[in-house]
Structure 1
């Protein structure tokens, strides 16, 4: 008795885990929504998949339509069950996507073999496609390549969906007897009208009702009502079931017993492998469409349910499901977004929902051969019309207001090409149009992020007052261009014009900096333009400095610039070092005697006030050091010693007596340079940006420890106030100097 209770408890826990609930939730509260949503989804899938199977296995394959439907339903059953169990989103419903149907129908219609081997060869081609599709998806998920496939342009995906929707609608009309040969009044003849109008009316009304009210019960309820109404109409007209099937008004079962398995091992002896080889292009298209479907479906489900999904996991689940479906004699399948969303509406986001939906399909697969004979042919066409209208709505109608006109035009282009020429041609035309559109848009982006001179934006190196005055007067002789984005043949012409104007202007620069730090990529056209400009600038006597070069770009330029010219280039790691080097050249040239007496006099006139302020600051600093000397401890640092940083234990506040020290951020970029009279603050672990201070030359400092500072605050308050006044003044002075270049600089 105890053992039986344990077994019952274990079964309940297993069911609760399958339902995705916690131990506090009752099994009934979890199972009831899953049962409702699962049965609803299963019935909808069953009818829609029957419609798809009837269309795919029509024409010369019509005598095998029941076996073909069995092939489709088993793929649906296997995919729905496995994805429900191993997929990332609980409540996922899977089945044959409408996007697969036209390609599968093309494979069936163009299979070139004799009548005896036709069905077996077609089924084998679809099974191989399912296994190949599953293998590709499994590899994508296993090697985490999903992100590489997510870059399909939205207009291409939208146009593809719209084109498939149009093809499905036309196929539905053809299936119901309104083929391309029927025109105008011929479609309205009573005998013809009865074959297609009920299905079209049902599909249009169902689409309108779902779009208007959006209630998940509409679809399954309409299925039952439509089939019942059709049979009542046949009964009222005195048409028996046998007569209706003979006249093509009801489906005719071609299977004996269950719908699965559709193939037996002995059937493979009749496979025409040469015909399958001839279908490889169509099979490759089917695999490509399957990959696109997974991307579109996962993205759509992710947006609809408001949850981030693990794409690689979904690819693995889809791949495993398609492989097992193929080896079991079924076709490929993928996530059905609309049915999966209903799981959330029913509050049935559990794995049990998908399992129940799969069971509904499985029951029909094993015992439902007689169900096919109850389905009206017009109803099958109506379901195809409904599916096609949904895709047209998603691809054409809903995107019209959201997309800019050029991108919406790409959707229309793909739609028209697919309708009149084919799927592959439509996708190819869309990709070509998208690339042209992308190239045009990218060429309009300015590759020059900013243009400035050394007068407007100085390096972070500490400069004495006279040197700063020289740069203020002569800084226009250094011009810098900071580039950005991807530079290619479409955008490089504008860059070439700007660079050319800098050489042809009235005041030719002494130095010209081109910074590539923010360049994400380039093509050979960009390399060629930069190489020609460097050689022209060198011939004009302009010193060219290139900064932030990637190793690939440096190698490409070296191969395209004359070696003697390349050897004279200055290559720096970043724009700050480039500016520093150009500033040094300008200052050295000015001091070497190039400047006139008038310029020397003007320099002295403009620097008098700055020199006076600098001397006053130095006197104040030296007086402060003398006053604080009893509480200060000398600290000396050699060149390249780390003075302060996140890994250095801080001893206190450092006052720099002599030497130079640079402050670097975590990326190694110099923020500014400290000189005599500057304060080196202790490293703050809570700061947003970690900084490291390195001695550029031998530095002599005085250390004020926290204990000494606290003693001064308690016993020498006047001295502490004098210290804090100096520190506060230094803080605002440094902040002003750091902000000055940004305020004075000009960006194009």
Structure 2
């Protein structure tokens, strides 16, 4: 038997048979992903209320650790748009010091989840919940970028939905047409770039490589050059943050205050759950693209290690990122070496080209995030809602609106609760009893009043106790036969409802014969004492049970009169 705890990064297996050709593929993919990650890392950090270098440090350190220790061959880790809303709220309410604590604590939780082999449980979160909060986060990301997209002068943006709307409305008079024009041009270039280049590459094979250059980096380079050369009156990284440092930060502990740190447990749980969902969904997408199967528990432990380390070096929460992972796969990555290369390239960019970042316009970063938010949302699900069940619609829309208007934690909690209630209701509606008659079992002809035979279906659990109560209300005169052949599950509450049915039969002089117990219901009947109550009249199948019931009729005495 294998030891329950295993720590084996996928890198060890991926390096078996590693050769020069595979390395060149990983090198090319790593360079391409680094180009994609550069503007996104800065944009995610700024949108989260942090300095741009926080995103870069996260992409470098967390990206390196996730590739080094992870359970996927091609997943790329780093800052993600899904964290923006949560991180911004923590920073605004509790400060950067407590964000460090929350991120590190989420890392511990993620590692423990992997250690306890809980990676597969994340897959049980309903898609309605995932799509609801993903679309809600996308709306909030887009809304948070309106300020920099329009060039509004707002000293401090609120973190809540109505506060954001109020601040934008109150400062519309500070609209900057230069900023808006630059942002609009950047967004148009990003949207048009891939489509135009893909069409051109199809016609001119020699230019196909241009389609691999992301539109976001093209827009970033052109907009930065325009701002620097034309001296456009727009806000830049240099004017707001003073640029980015040309070195990685040293290890630093936060200013710890128990008065505020004690409130970090729920934000840490939210970060851990969201990070787990995002990274494992991303790994599943990557599996489908490369025909592999990731190790979810190893991936969670790698995510945990990265999130525990990176906040002490100026970083922010990290997870697996779908956009960068897809680019990694399409660029020819074959192993985690590509992710390590991507982190190394970003480090070289910081060391060599940090001064150039001062001229990057925030309007272009806002346009990039607008594009990311649009691609992040599953908007087609709204158009298909009419084709789906009412509970699914209610769950998805409730999670979406709660995420946008209130809080992601509340939205996910409500979504999971609603999904559980819906699941219990649906399973209980599938659990039912069907009476067998002489049409299917001829020996019962003429005995319908004395003998009743019921075949039970589904699960006998706390949500389906009404089935046993209904049988109790219509007991036969002599013998009740229960066929458990199609019962797939029984819990203690369900077994207790059947024990009450057995007691009711005894009080009214009705003999109860049970048949066809499957493995799990039989084990539960044994553990709860139900089996001991029906052991004397236990039959292997319904045919034997009907024969036993008919044989018992001449021996049965007249039952006591039923109460009025």
- Per the shorter chain, which TM-score range? 0.7 to 0.9
In the TM superposition, 1:421-460 aligns within 5 A as 421-448=406-433, 451-452=435-436, 456=440
Equivalent-residue separation in structure 2 for 1:96 and 1:37 (angstroms) = 19
Equivalent-residue separation in structure 2 for 1:317 and 1:399 (angstroms) = 36
Contact kept? 2:243, 2:355, Cα under 8 Å: no
Q: 1:231 to 1:513 in 2, by over 3 A?
A: closer
Larger gyration radius, structure 1 or structure 2? 1
Contact kept? 1:515, 1:575, Cα under 8 Å: no
Structure 2: unaligned runs, 5 residues or longer: 1-10, 153-163, 200-207, 559-564
TM-superposed CA distance for 1:106, in Å, is: 1.0
Is 1:46 the counterpart of 2:38? The answer is yes
Contact kept? 2:114, 2:301, Cα under 8 Å: yes
TM-superposed CA distance for 1:322, in Å, is: 2.6
Q: 1:57 to 1:513 in 2, by over 3 A?
A: closer
TM-superposed CA distance for 1:200, in Å, is: 5.2
Q: 1:404 to 1:216 in 2, by over 3 A?
A: farther
Partner residue in 1 for 2:89: 106
Partner residue in 2 for 1:168: 141
Partner residue in 2 for 1:147: 120
Partner residue in 1 for 2:69: 86
Equivalent-residue separation in structure 2 for 1:171 and 1:103 (angstroms) = 13
TM-superposed CA distance for 1:339, in Å, is: 1.9
Equivalent-residue separation in structure 1 for 2:555 and 2:508 (angstroms) = 23
In the TM superposition, 1:554-633 aligns within 5 A as 556=528, 569-571=534-536, 575-576=540-541, 580=544, 583-584=547-548, 586-587=550-551, 589-590=553-554
RCO (CA 8 Å, sep 6+): is it higher in 1 or 2? 2
Is 1:545 the counterpart of 2:513? The answer is yes
Q: How many residues align?
A: 522
Contact kept? 2:289, 2:329, Cα under 8 Å: no
Partner residue in 2 for 1:254: 242
TM-superposed CA distance for 1:420, in Å, is: 1.1
In the TM superposition, 1:327-346 aligns within 5 A as 327-346=312-331
Is 1:383 the counterpart of 2:347? The answer is no
SS in 2 for 1:373: helix
In the TM superposition, 1:616-695 aligns within 5 A as none
Contact kept? 1:479, 1:511, Cα under 8 Å: yes
Q: 1:418 to 1:567 in 2, by over 3 A?
A: closer
Contact kept? 2:236, 2:359, Cα under 8 Å: no
Contact kept? 1:159, 1:414, Cα under 8 Å: yes
TM-superposed CA distance for 1:334, in Å, is: 1.5
More displaced, 278-287 or 584-593?
A: 584-593
SS in 2 for 1:274: helix
TM-superposed CA distance for 1:95, in Å, is: 1.0
Contact kept? 2:85, 2:141, Cα under 8 Å: yes
TM-superposed CA distance for 1:527, in Å, is: 4.7
Is 1:513 the counterpart of 2:487? The answer is no
Partner residue in 1 for 2:275: 290
Cα deviation code 1:716-745 (max 9, x no counterpart): xxxxxxxxxxxxxxxxxxxxxxxxxxxxxx
TM-score by length of 1: 0.61
Is 1:362 the counterpart of 2:326? The answer is no
Equivalent-residue separation in structure 2 for 1:272 and 1:207 (angstroms) = 46
SS in 1 for 2:124: coil
Q: 1:350 to 1:544 in 2, by over 3 A?
A: same
Contact kept? 2:431, 2:464, Cα under 8 Å: yes
Q: 1:287 to 1:17 in 2, by over 3 A?
A: closer
Q: 1:207 to 1:407 in 2, by over 3 A?
A: farther
SS in 2 for 1:206: helix
Selected match of 2:56 from 61, 68, 73: 73
Q: 1:209 to 1:401 in 2, by over 3 A?
A: farther
TM-superposed CA distance for 1:483, in Å, is: 2.2
Structure 1: unaligned runs, 5 residues or longer: 1-15, 59-64, 112-117, 459-470, 559-565, 595-748
Is 1:157 the counterpart of 2:119? The answer is no
Contact kept? 2:73, 2:294, Cα under 8 Å: no
TM-superposed CA distance for 1:86, in Å, is: 3.3
Contact kept? 1:454, 1:583, Cα under 8 Å: no
Is 1:192 the counterpart of 2:181? The answer is no
Selected match of 2:29 from 27, 34, 37: 37
SS in 1 for 2:71: coil
Contact kept? 1:46, 1:361, Cα under 8 Å: yes
Equivalent-residue separation in structure 2 for 1:128 and 1:426 (angstroms) = 23
Contact kept? 2:453, 2:482, Cα under 8 Å: yes
Equivalent-residue separation in structure 1 for 2:320 and 2:457 (angstroms) = 41
